[in-house]
Structure 1
Amino acid sequence: MNYPDTEQTMKLVANLVSIPSPTGNTYEVITFVEKFLNELQIKTMRNHKGGLIATIEGNDSSKHRMLTAHVDTLGAMVKEVKASGRLKIDLIGGFKFNSIEGEYCQIETNSGKKYTGTILMHQTSVHVYKDADKIERNQENIEVRIDEKVHNAEDVKALGIEVGDFISFDPRVQVTSSGFIKCRHLDDKASVAILMQLIKQIKTENISLPYTTHFLISNNEEIGYGGNSNIPEETVEYLAVDMGAIGDGQSTDEYTVSICAKDASGPYHYELRKKLVQLAEENHIPYKLDLYPFYGSDASAAIRSGHDIVHGLIGPGIDSSHAFERTHQSSIENTAKLLYHYVQSNLI
C-alpha cells in the first residue's frame, strides 16, 4: 500500500508550526497552504472568515464529504501598555497563564512590524521577590518584556505597539532521532499537514474518490466556530481531524490514531465511529478509542450550527496539549493511513 510519505509530512508540520498564526491573524499560514495546493492545481476558495476550502470532484457529486483541520493556534493580544514599558496580555484560546511563563514571543503591530519579547511573571527575580514561586500566574502578574530600549508606555507606543496587537508564541520545534516532534501548536498543524499530504497523494497518483470531497482548513477553531459554515448542502459526512488528548484516564497515546467517541459536546455519530474502527482493523492500523471531557472540534461546531450531517473526529495523539506538545511520527503515520482509506470508502 502506497501511503503518504511520513517524513515529508513531518517536515511540513515543522514548517507550519513555524508560521505565527494565533486565531484572528492567520492570513500568512492560510496563504502558505493555499500556495501548496495551487501548485498541485487543486481548486481552492477562501471563505469570508479567512479559511480555505479545497475541493476534489468525486464519482458521485450528489453526495459530498468534508474533512477539516485548523491552522489557527493559541496566542494572545496586547491588553494594556503598562507604565513600566511592559505589556499586559489577554489570552486567545483555552489555556492557562502558567503554560506560557518564560516563553519567547513575537508582537506584531498594526503596520506589520514585528518585535520579540519574553513572557514573564512581574515578580520573577527570586533575589527581589521572596514569594515568586507562590504568586498566582494570572493576567495581573504575567507580562511581556519587550526586546527594545523602552522605559515607559510612551516609548512602547513610539514603536507602534498598541492595545489589540497580536502576540504569538515561539514554537520551539524539534524533531528527534527517535521519531518525536515536539513544539507548540501541533494542535492542529499536525493534522493540517496530514491533510495536505493526503491531497497531494490523491492528485499526483490520480486517485479516484467515490464522492466529491471538500477539505476545510479552518482558522477559528480555537475560539469555537472555525468549521461551522461553508458546508455544502450535499454534504453527508463531516470528519474533523484534530489532536487526541493524552492524560490520566485517557487511552490515547503518541503512537496510534485516536478515534473520538465523545467530547464535551456529546457523542460523535455512532455509525461513523464504528466505520472508522472497522477501516482501522481491516487495514491493520493501530488505533485507540477515547473520550475527551474538556474538548470541542470543528465537527461539533458544525453540529451546533444546525447542519444535518454525520460527524466524526480522529487525529494523532498529542501529549501536553495547549502547552509544550509532542507526538511521534507513528501517530501521524497511522492517522494518515486511516484517512487514506476513509476518503476512498463508501458512505455509511
Structure 2
Amino acid sequence: MERPVIDMDYLTGILGRLLEIPSPTGYTDQIVHFCGDEFRRLGIPFELTRRGAIRADLVGRLKSPDRALVAHLDTLGAQVKMLKPNGRLELVPVGTWSARFAEGARCTIFTDRGSYRGTILPLKASGHTFNTEIDTQPVAWTNLELRVDARSEALDDLVALGFNIGDFVAIDPQPEFNPNGFINSRHLDDKAGVAVMFAAAKAIRDSKASLPVDCHLLLTISEEVGSGASSVLHRDVAEMVTIDNGTTAAGQNSREYGVTVAMADSSGPFDYHLTHKLLRLCSDYGIEHQRDVFRYYRCDSAAAIEAGNDIRTALVCFGIDSSHGYERIHASSLCSLAELVALYMQSDVTVERDRVRMGPMGEFPWQPTDPAECPEDPA
C-alpha cells in the first residue's frame, strides 16, 4: 500500500456544506438526502434504514470478514419545552451540552408551518436592567429562553404564529475556515468525521485501489442521544472503526494535530487487536498520532456493542478544542485521519478467524503476556 493522496479542497469543501445543513438529532432528513446525493456522485451504492441511517458499500475481493467505518450526521440542538406567557420559548437540550454555550446563540426554529429565526438568551440579559445580576445568574437551561424574530409578546401570539411544544431548534454553526488551517465552528462533532469519511472514500475511488474485503461506510443519525450504530450493521461485520472527535482539554493526551487513537472511553476498552493495528498503520506510514483514554465520552461503537453485535471496535479521532461548545480543529488533523482511514480500508483483515461468528479455537489471537516479548529497559 502507498500513503493515499487526500483531496483537501474536497474535504474542507464538503465539510462547509455539511455545516450549512441543520441536523439536530431527530431532524436529520435533509442531511441524509445530501449525503445520499454525494454517495451517488462518487458512484458508491448505498441503502437507508427506516429512519435514515445510511450504509454505503465499497466492494472488496472477499465478502467476509467485512469491516465498517462509522461517523454520525446528527448534532446537538434543542426542542421547545413550553410556550411562555411573555411570548418567548422555554427550551430543553437535545444531546448533552451546557447552557453556557447556548447563551447568545442564533438559531432556527422549525414549526409545523415553517421556520423562524431567533436568539437564545439568559432570562436576565440586559445589564441596563439587571446590573450585576447578569453575572450571577446560574448556568442552567431553565435560566434561558428563546426570543423569536417575530411579533410575539404573549402566549397567544406564539400560538397564532404556529409554535408548538416539541418544535426543533437548530443552533447556527458560525463556521470560520482560516488560511492557517484552523477551523472554528459548532457541530464539527461529527460533521468533520463525516467529511473525513467522504474524503477517504474519494481517495480510494480516485486511486482505483483494490480492497481485500467489503467495507461498509455507515452514517448514523442518533449518536448524540446514545443509540447511534445500534441498527445499521450487517450481522457479518467483524470489525468497526468509529470516526469522531478527540478532546484536547487539560488532563487529556489528544492534540489538534495528527490522529488520536482512543484506547478506551466511558464504555470500556476498545478491541486490543484492532486498535493496535491502527497504531501500526500510523507508525508504518509516518502518520502523526497519539493515544488517549476518555472518561466522559461515548461513541457509536458502544451503541453497536450494546445492541448485541459481536464485533471488534475502535475509535480514531481528529483533535478538537471545546467539544460540544464553539469548537476548533485543524485541517492537518483531518488530512492525517483521512489518510489512516483510507489505509485501513486497504489493509488486510485484523483477525482471519473473525470470518466465523461462533466456532472452535482455531487461530484465535494472543495478547502479549511474556516479559521476554517486551523490549529491554534502556536503563
Q: 1:25 aligns with which of 24, 27, 37?
A: 27
Q: How far apart, in 2, do the equivalents of 1:129 and 1:175 lie?
A: 37
- Show the counterpart of 2:60: 58
C-alpha offsets along residues 257-286 of structure 1, whole Å, 9 cap, x if unaligned?
Answer: 110001100000111111111000000000
Shift of 1:203: 2.4
Helix, strand or coil at the partner of 2:250: coil
The reply on whether 1:229 has 2:239 as its aligned counterpart is no
Q: How far apart, in 2, do the equivalents of 1:174 and 1:155 lie?
A: 36
- Show the counterpart of 1:120: 121
CA RMSD, 1 decimal:
1.0
Helix, strand or coil at the partner of 1:127: helix
Q: How far apart, in 2, do the equivalents of 1:81 and 1:292 lie?
A: 38
Q: How far apart, in 2, do the equivalents of 1:84 and 1:335 lie?
A: 48
Q: How far apart, in 2, do the equivalents of 1:115 and 1:187 lie?
A: 25
- Show the counterpart of 1:188: 190
Q: How far apart, in 1, do the equivalents of 2:208 and 2:161 lie?
A: 51
Shift of 1:206: 2.0
Shift of 1:252: 0.6
Helix, strand or coil at the partner of 1:280: helix
Q: Which amino acid aligns with 2:122?
A: M
- Show the counterpart of 1:142: 144
Q: How far apart, in 1, do the equivalents of 2:181 and 2:199 lie?
A: 18
C-alpha contact 1:242 1:314 (8 A) present in aligned 2: yes
C-alpha offsets along residues 105-128 of structure 1, whole Å, 9 cap, x if unaligned?
Answer: 1101123x1111000001111121
- Show the counterpart of 1:306: 308
- The 5 Å alignment of 1:337-348 reads 337-348=339-350
Equivalent pairs counted in the alignment come to 347
- The 5 Å alignment of 1:83-232 reads 83-111=85-113, 113-130=114-131, 131-232=133-234
Q: TM-score, normalised by structure 1?
A: 0.98
Shift of 1:74: 0.1
Please say which of residues 286-295 and 55-64 is displaced more in the overlay: 55-64
Helix, strand or coil at the partner of 2:211: coil
Q: Which amino acid aligns with 1:280?
A: C
Q: 1:280 aligns with which of 263, 275, 282?
A: 282
**Stretches of structure 1 lacking an aligned partner (at least 5 in a row):** none
Shift of 1:92: 0.4
The reply on whether 1:243 has 2:214 as its aligned counterpart is no
C-alpha contact 2:243 2:317 (8 A) present in aligned 1: yes
C-alpha contact 1:279 1:342 (8 A) present in aligned 2: yes
Shift of 1:227: 0.5
Helix, strand or coil at the partner of 1:237: strand
Q: TM-score, normalised by structure 2?
A: 0.90
- Show the counterpart of 1:257: 259
Q: How far apart, in 1, do the equivalents of 2:121 and 2:232 lie?
A: 40
Q: Name the one with the larger helix percent.
A: 2
C-alpha contact 1:279 1:338 (8 A) present in aligned 2: yes
Shift of 1:41: 2.3
Shift of 1:300: 1.3
Q: How far apart, in 2, do the equivalents of 1:342 and 1:56 lie?
A: 13
Q: 2:70 aligns with which of 68, 79, 93?
A: 68
Shift of 1:156: 1.3
Helix, strand or coil at the partner of 1:118: strand
C-alpha contact 2:22 2:170 (8 A) present in aligned 1: yes
Shift of 1:42: 1.3
Q: How far apart, in 1, do the equivalents of 2:99 and 2:220 lie?
A: 25
Q: Which amino acid aligns with 1:86?
A: R
C-alpha contact 2:4 2:339 (8 A) present in aligned 1: no
C-alpha offsets along residues 3-46 of structure 1, whole Å, 9 cap, x if unaligned?
Answer: 22122211211111111000000000111110011122211111
C-alpha contact 2:75 2:190 (8 A) present in aligned 1: yes
Q: How far apart, in 1, do the equivalents of 2:127 and 2:342 lie?
A: 53
C-alpha contact 1:3 1:340 (8 A) present in aligned 2: no
Q: Which amino acid aligns with 2:259?
A: V
C-alpha contact 1:126 1:132 (8 A) present in aligned 2: yes
C-alpha contact 1:172 1:183 (8 A) present in aligned 2: yes
Q: Percent identity?
A: 36
Helix, strand or coil at the partner of 1:317: strand
**Stretches of structure 2 lacking an aligned partner (at least 5 in a row):** 351-379
Q: How far apart, in 2, do the equivalents of 1:278 and 1:39 lie?
A: 33
Q: How far apart, in 1, do the equivalents of 2:319 and 2:294 lie?
A: 12
C-alpha offsets along residues 84-118 of structure 1, whole Å, 9 cap, x if unaligned?
Answer: 0100001000111111101101101123x111100
C-alpha contact 1:238 1:310 (8 A) present in aligned 2: yes
